[in-house]
Structures are given as structure tokens and as C-alpha cells.
């Protein structure tokens, strides 16, 4: 078996793309999208008609509604290809507004359900701010499952699990990027700070009985992926999926509920003040969370500009 086939024995593979052809090529269980991926996709000739149709059909409703319809159109097409779930992201400009995030999550699910898609097949992606986590808590109580994104530190992960979030997406590659820049050194395999962060979160969840799924995300190389074999899910770009499909080296399971029970992690008790203080103490997590929100906001604005120009 190639490395991708071996990895699928231990971990659910998710395609991190808005490109339908790539999703079909690698047969993942689930797929994730975000504003940057949708922006990238609609600049291609084969996907631009989706944006043009949404703009035509919902012109009277304004740019925000057109983007929601576009996100759902992509999600529906993806769900025709995969057997599992698609993640659709809430506008990052709502990252510090709990009530608006809850409203937007409900709106997106309503659009999917109106198109005949059951809510069980959709994950609403929300930034892992304190406000975003509170929104996820409310949405989960409504039976709306949430994927907590832009997650860089254990306190974020613990707060998400305490809130009952369905799934978290810790960003391996962005953690790696920060440490590489800060230290001036390269990291490989088990020494990678991004890998270590996800291992710590996975072990915490399994040791303390949290049901929230862990999905490693934002990979820079296949070494990071291989080191997380056994993680609940891994969302991987088409380029790295292809490298795994071409690889033949042995893949062994690195994470398991059994080994997690023997970790020396201590249980965290988090309220809002403790969460904010611990996040503030982690320069990497604070900087990457802010940077990620800014990037997604900028891409949402670019997407609105493209729609306005039609």
C-alpha cells in the first residue's frame, strides 16, 4: 500500500480544498473549505460560473447573502462527491461577536436544509476565540455541529471540548511557521512544535474522556502528517495527498487512546479570565490567531469585491 492507503487505516482523511476534481481524485471521507480556498477556486474558469449564478440569483439580497449562497453551493457540490461531511466557515469578521456568529451558523444550516441537505452532513467552522467558542456551545445545543478553526493552543482546545464542540482543527503548519521564524531553525518529524501541539491536544482529550474530534490541519510537509497517524482526522491539501499517494515508506500508528491514558497532562479548569490569560501568555497562539482572522477577513472582502464587479 502507498502511504495514503496506510494512513487511512488509522485516520479519517479529509480533503482541504474547494476543488471538486481534487476531492474526487483522492476519495476522502470529508472535506473542508474556508474563505481563502473558495476565493482561490472561483478564480478558476471551471468554478467561476458558481459565483456568477449566485450573484445573478440573489443580486437583490446583497453581497453577504450571495457569499452564503456561494459557500452552500460549493458545499452541496462537494457533498455529492464525498460520503461524509463538509465544513463551511462563518464570516471571520464575526469572530468576536457571539450572537452574530450563532445567527450566521443558523442561517447557513437553514440554507443547506432548504436545499435538502441534512444538518448532520455539515460542520459550521468558527474561529476559536472565546466568543466563537460560546457561539459553538449555543449552536451545538441546537443540533448544529461545529468545527473550531484557527486553533493553536491547548487552552483553546480545552475550552472547545468543554463547550461540546463536535470537532477542532489545530493548525500544525502555522505553529511550525511561527517557531521556525522565531528560532531560525528547521524542525523535522516528532520535533516539530506543530506536531507536538496536536499530540498534546489528542492525548488530553482521550485521557480526560472528551468526545470532541481532533482534526490536524494546515500541513507543510508529509512528515507532519505521518507523525500524526492515529489522530481522529487529518485535513490535507491536494498537493500533499498526492505526495502521500506516491510514497511507499511504512506508516505506523503514533496516536492512540491507549497511549494517551499514560500521558502526564493535568486537567485544566477554564473560565473566561483564565482562558484569556493563558492565551495571552502564549505569544505564538495569540499572534497566529489574530493573523488568521485578519487573513480570512481580507479574503472575504476580496470575494465581495469580485461579486460587486460582476
Contact indicator for 70, 51 with CB cutoff of 8 Å: yes
- The Cα-based distances of 190 to 41, 62, 195 in angstroms read 33, 48, 7
Euclidean distance between CA atoms 76 and 124, whole angstroms: 14
Write the CB contacts of 159 (distance below 8 Å, at least 6 apart in sequence): 128, 130, 133, 270, 275
Euclidean distance between CA atoms 54 and 40, whole angstroms: 17
φ/ψ of residue 114, rounded to 5? -65, -25
Apex 77 CA angle, 8 and 12, nearest 5: 15
| H or E element in which residue 79 lies | helix 63-79
Given the residues 59, 104, 125, 267, select the one marked as catalytic: 125
What SS3 string covers 12-62? EEEEECCCHHHHHHHCCCEEECCHHHHHHHHCCCCCHHHHHHHHHHCHHHC
Note if 59 is an active site residue: no
Angle formed by the axes of helices 172-183 and 193-207, to 10°? 130
Contact indicator for 207, 195 with CB cutoff of 8 Å: no
C-alpha cell at 291: 493573523
Using DSSP's 3-state secondary structure scheme, residue 106 falls into helix
Radius of gyration for the chain, computed over Cα atoms and rounded to the nearest angstrom: 19
Contact indicator for 74, 18 with CB cutoff of 8 Å: yes
Contact indicator for 162, 148 with CB cutoff of 8 Å: no
Q: Write out the catalytic residue numbers.
A: 125
Amino acid at each position: 500500500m502507498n502511504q495514503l492507503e496506510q494512513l487511512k487505516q488509522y485516520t479519517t482523511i479529509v480533503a482541504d480544498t474547494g476543488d471538486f476534481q481534487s476531492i474526487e481524485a483522492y476519495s476522502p471521507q470529508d472535506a473542508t473549505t474556508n474563505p481563502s480556498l473558495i476565493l482561490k477556486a472561483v478564480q478558476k474558469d471551471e468554478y467561476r460560473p458558481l459565483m456568477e449564478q449566485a450573484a445573478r440569483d440573489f443580486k437583490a439580497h446583497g453581497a453577504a447573502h450571495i457569499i452564503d449562497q456561494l459557500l452552500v453551493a460549493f458545499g452541496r457540490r462537494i457533498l455529492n462527491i464525498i460520503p461524509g461531511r463538509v465544513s463551511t466557515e462563518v464570516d471571520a469578521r464575526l469572530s468576536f461577536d457571539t450572537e452574530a456568529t450563532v445567527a450566521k451558523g443558523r442561517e447557513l444550516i437553514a440554507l443547506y436544509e432548504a436545499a435538502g441537505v441534512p444538518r448532520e452532513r455539515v460542520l459550521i467552522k468558527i474561529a476559536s476565540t472565546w466568543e466563537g467558542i460560546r457561539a459553538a456551545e449555543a449552536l451545538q445545543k441546537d443540533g448544529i455541529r461545529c468545527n473550531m478553526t484557527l486553533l493553536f493552543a491547548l487552552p483553546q482546545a480545552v475550552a472547545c471540548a468543554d463547550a461540546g464542540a463536535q470537532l477542532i482543527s489545530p493548525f500544525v503548519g502555522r505553529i511550525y511557521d511561527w517557531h521556525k521564524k522565531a528560532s531560525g531553525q528547521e524542525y523535522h518529524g516528532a520535533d516539530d512544535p506543530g506536531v507536538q501541539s496536536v499530540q498534546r491536544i489528542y492525548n488530553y482529550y482521550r485521557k480526560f474522556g472528551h468526545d470532541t474530534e481532533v482534526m490536524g490541519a494546515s500541513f507543510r510537509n508529509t512528515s507532519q502528517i505521518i507523525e500524526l497517524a492515529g489522530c481522529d482526522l487529518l485535513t490535507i491539501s491536494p498537493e500533499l495527498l498526492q505526495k502521500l499517494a506516491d510514497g511507499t515508506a511504512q506508516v505506523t500508528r503514533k496516536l492512540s487512546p491507549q497511549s494517551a491514558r499514560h500521558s502526564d497532562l493535568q486537567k485544566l479548569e477554564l473560565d473566561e479570565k483564565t482562558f484569556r490569560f493563558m492565551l495571552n501568555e502564549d505569544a505564538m497562539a495569540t499572534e497566529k490567531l489574530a493573523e488568521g482572522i485578519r487573513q480570512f477577513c481580507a479574503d472575504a472582502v476580496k470575494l465581495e469585491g469580485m461579486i460587486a464587479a460582476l
